[in-house]
Structure formats: structure tokens, C-alpha cells
Chain A
Amino acid sequence: MMINDIGEARIRVPDQIRRGDLITVNAIVSHPMDTGFFRTAEGDPIPAYFIKDVVVTYGNQEVARFEWTSGISRDPVVSFTLKADKEAPLTMVWSDNKGASFKQSVNISFISA
């Protein structure tokens, strides 16, 4: 998975989902996650710059919310499960400490049985 621009994000869910399945959701967002402890080669401090909040919404329901620090690795990945009980979009919004937020969605739809 090649990701370059800050805030570019992907969410991966299984190809074939049946109603009621417990699925695994994998997500990645491109972000430097700078701690504020490092300096450039020229000696200038690199200010802290990181994703601090992630909200996961399924349909119109908030199903999870993550609070992060710069201790999460660069280009943060996260995976979690989801009870696929309705056909609805799964949306994630990542917000960083400089006030920017990045959104990605994937549709949860069921294969016809």
C-alpha cells in the first residue's frame, strides 16, 4: 500500500461479507507523527505533529473512538473488529493536533445469499 500525501487514508474490509459476520477492519493514514523530540539536520526542532483523535462511525452510530499521542508510529495503522449487522457506510475521521482532519469511508454491503 503506497501512501504519500499527509492525510491520505485507506480502509480495508473483507470482499465478501454476510449479515452478522464479525469482520476485521484495517485502516492506515499517512501522517508523520512527529514527537517534538527530534531536530532537523540543521539543528532546528521539529514540532510535535500527530493524529490525536480517530472517530469510527457505522451508519449513524459512533462505534469507536481512539485517543492517540505521538507515541503511535508514523503512518498510523489500526485494526479492530466490527459486527456487520447493517448495510451502511463505515467512516473514519482522523484529526491531528494542528486542527486538520482527514476522512475515509467504505461501504459495508452484503453478498446475496
Chain B
Amino acid sequence: MTERRAFFRSCALALTGLLTSRTERLLAVTGLDAGPEDPEVPNQEVARILKQLFGDRPIRRGHVQLDMPIVAEDGRVVPVIIESDLPMTDDRYVKGIHLIVDHNPDPHLAAFHLTPAIGSVSVSTRIKMKRTTWVRAILETSNGEVWAGYARVLVTLNGCG
């Protein structure tokens, strides 16, 4: 019994190792043409959402901290924290945060419209995730700049059905 358990554990460890090295390799490959670790647009739906929200404006990585677990054991409840160091003053502020989960049935999961009265960008909530995917938190400023933060979350239990 103990031997069997040890065997399963070593299998699990080997699998984890494989997954990790594979992810790193994929990141290294995409890093060549898409900038450091920028996730590729995975499908037409996400492409359509990005186009509709931001048009042809460049989506630059930076000024956004997207905090999510590396592994979400329950896809029904995955915590999200979005923070930014961008100013929230009357003449320049973050007017919106868009949360996009690439492989969810409805990828444009939420939009948070903000005003300078909020004082800072620090929003948290809990979301559902169908499977392992990239999550994008994309901020739009009052003067039209677009900034993004990305997180890849491993989902072990489908939270969408």
C-alpha cells in the first residue's frame, strides 16, 4: 500500500515537472515575437473583444498588477486582485478595467468603470474559470492609453459547467 502511494506520488511529481518545463518552453517561444510573456490571442472571440474595446490602440504590458493563484483547485471560486500605480486625478485617471478570461464561455467576464473619486486602482472579486488559461486585466485611462497585466492560472476543477 505504502509502495503504491509512493509510486503514484513519484508519477505526480514527474508529471508536474513535465508540465512546468513545457509551460516554460511555450513561454520562451511566444516571447520571441509577442514581447516578454505576452500571451497570444487564442481565438476569434477574444480578438473581437479586444478590437471592440480598444480598436487599434496598442495594448502595452505594465502599470497593472493582476494577482491570481497559480493553481486554482476550484474553478467556481478563483480570487482576483487588480491593482495599478496609475494616477487617479481629475485630469488623468483609469476609467475602466476589463477582465478577460481567454477560455471561458463568455471571455469578457467583467468591466469595472471607475472615477477619480475612487482614489486608487485596487479592485478585488472572485470569478469562475472553466479551464487552465490566461487571464487579462486591461486598463483604459482617461486619455486613451491601454495597459495590461496577465496571469496564467491552472484550473483543476471546471467552474463553468
Partners in one complex: yes
8 Å CB contact of A71 from B106, B112, B113: B106
Main SS at interface, chain A = strand
Q: Write out the residue numbers on chain A whose beta carbons fall within 8 Å of the beta carbon of B78.
A: 73
A65 to B122, CA, bound (A): 14
- Tell me the complex Cα distance, A22–B161, Å: 39
CB pair A22–B127 under 8 Å, yes or no, is no
User: Which B residues, 109 to 138, have Cβ-Cβ distances below 8 Å to chain A?
Assistant: 109-120, 122-128
Cα A63 to Cα B37 in complex, Å, equals 34
Contact partner, A82, options B113, B119, B161, Cβ 8 Å: B119
B77 touching A73 by the CB < 8 A rule? yes
B142 adjacent to chain A (CB < 8 Å): no
Q: Which residues of B contact A61 (CB under 8 A)?
A: 115, 117
Question: Quick check: is A77 within 8 A (CB to CB) of the other chain?
Answer: yes
Q: Are A37 and B161 in contact (CB under 8 A)?
A: yes
| Interface residue? A5 (CB, 8 A) | no
Tell me if B124 and A78 are in contact (CB < 8 A). yes
Interface residue? A79 (CB, 8 A): yes
Identify B106's interface contact among A69, A78, A81, CB under 8 A.
Answer: A69
Q: Which of A1-55 contact B (CB under 8 A)?
A: 22, 24, 35, 37-38
Residues in A neighbouring B114, C-beta threshold 8 A:
63-64, 80
Bound Cα distance A22, B113 (Å): 18
Interface size on A, residues (CB 8 A): 29
The count of residues in chain B whose C-beta lies closer than 8 Å to any C-beta of chain A is: 30
The answer to the question of B151 belonging to the interface, with a C-beta cut-off of 8 Å to chain A, is no
B126 touches A67 (CB 8 A): no
In chain A, what residue has the closest Cβ to B99? Answer: A71
Does the CB pair B126–A69 fall under 8 Å?
no
Residues of A within 8 A of B76 (CB): 73-74
**Whole-angstrom distance between the alpha carbons of A66 and B108 in the complex?**
13
- For A73, list chain B residues within 8 Å (CB): 76-78, 125-128, 159
Task: Say how far A86's CB is from chain B's closest CB, in angstroms.
Answer: 10
Asked if A83 and B108 sit within 8 Å, CB to CB, the answer is no
14 contacts between A and B (CB under 8 A): A61-B115, A63-B118, A64-B112, A64-B113, A66-B113, A67-B113, A69-B109, A70-B106, A71-B110, A73-B159, A76-B125, A77-B125, A82-B117, A83-B118
- Give residues in A with beta carbon < 8 Å to B: 22, 24, 35, 37-38, 58, 61-74, 76-83, 85
